[in-house]
Structure 1
């Protein structure tokens, strides 16, 4: 593209000004809105650590107090910002066949005061450790991907302790919610906002029971991870199937497996062996007011090529949907893993220094906005020059908001 550097810089400047204008109504005072804009500049800047002192130095402030006030002392609604992020991302990324990916990530912490912190398992560290857990919804379409929702998980040790809740400024009435319940609330918010998506993908911690029924009622297809001991049974199909996912997979024939790519990775196609069994055809109208016709309940099995490790997924899709489509949907879960890595390494997702409920949601929502801005810029640039990337732009410190 002729003049691509100048065009990209110009598009960056316009995009940054646009997102700052969008969030300005959240703040009752211009100086607070300006501080929020500088906070966003700091997240997008070149500093490796996005701490209050680092952001303050980049903004030319003598100390981190203005930055900290945005997360703590100020009065503004982080959920309103979450909705702004969603609507902004959808302007560029919306697609009726998009996949809403649900997953979680851990935030390692010292001490016991940070809201929701506890000794709990996080895949980020691969072990039980002292951390917070955030559950996220990532919107993944053919255009790109961006976070559109988030929630801080509160263990029962927190929700059963009124003093800890009050000390961390958790809103009154907030009770214990499982991770699947947090995921269901995100899906309901997306549906209520008329977010276009056709599928939901999630790991095994989210994959059974109420979440399945919710998605059937909402007319959404799904590929949801389940554990090896999850039971499946077929009916009305020529090939009878019954037993645990593990035992069913053990009885598959070599001809049942296909080697397919679930998407492009950093080293090329992500190839695995896959098997798909249709279990039953059901009338979607039994569950949903906006869907009719036969939909198929199925079992999808993934086998790692190198070591034969198996993973299992319960599926729900329009009858006739091929295995290639289901594999593609499951493969979209990689996008949220990539998003967590990018947001932590480049945008300071895990650099939040506040301890309160509001501080966590405000910090995370601002990072989501920065991520959505990058996704939007990348999408528009790729439409013009697909071979270009935005790696350099992530490391370029934007000019201050005029």
Structure 2
């Protein structure tokens, strides 16, 4: 009667980690993953900067803090065991203005509360780590690293033993007392005992198809990147002090596992859930975003911040100015456009930007409704959490 025990919607790193955890925790569990693209990790997983985050930014006791600290150590171990290139580089968080110093000191305290080793630096010590970076003060976070999350996803898929169906966009979900039946756009029907929704940019739509009110909407934000023509200008990872009023880290410098240095991202509203450029517009998705009251509440609360992000999106000069706060030697000619990404940001009706991971359950269903950065870093413990909940429904 059942094609599988657990049906996972979404072949990103969270969905694949869940499949991996399911078969590790309960050998013999039949797992199928539905992926609407023709390869795994095509969206958020494959379009990030590849950072293994330490967990320093996150509220102590939150799922983000717990999973990031644990997940960073596990991700390093996983990469080492599977021969996936990685490096524990450490990173600098640099204050470039006096008004940022109290926030920098608060980060030191938060890092210590989360059990993360943090070293405070003065201007001369900044130069020891990054000779071309300038700042009034900084902290060095030793547990931050880099890896290739696309390669991690491939290994998770292989090691899980799950059946992966590609080109399988979910169009109908029929949930009954005996289980769940899912129809895909190409007419396939898959029956399972339990459904796990890890659909990322489309997770709220999948929840509604299942008959559940997620209480939030995904509002997509595009992150635009440049890369340095001369990657020798930066040795490792350099971040500004984040603005606690907004869940984005600001324009930062990231040396990738391939040796290139990415700069960004900014954060601008995307006109489609997979809107990787201003020319990509999906009217129905855009209308859904505009119809959600929370979208307008965000605009009212953060219009000034958003205006700066839009300016940096359309003006390379403005983007370069933001970079020069950290790296004064940079000029416009040093920056080359790189591939953008889109972040699936969960927004409540009142405009609250959901800051933590959000996992909700219904009959025979587990929904992952918010898994922003550091979800890739924390994917192994998140996968275990979701798998535990799914197995309880069995």
What TM-score does the superposition give when structure 2 sets the normalisation length?
0.24
What TM-score does the superposition give when structure 1 sets the normalisation length?
0.24
- Structure having the higher helix fraction is 1
Structure number with higher relative contact order (C-alpha < 8 Å, ≥ 6 residues apart): 2
- The structure whose Rg is larger is 1
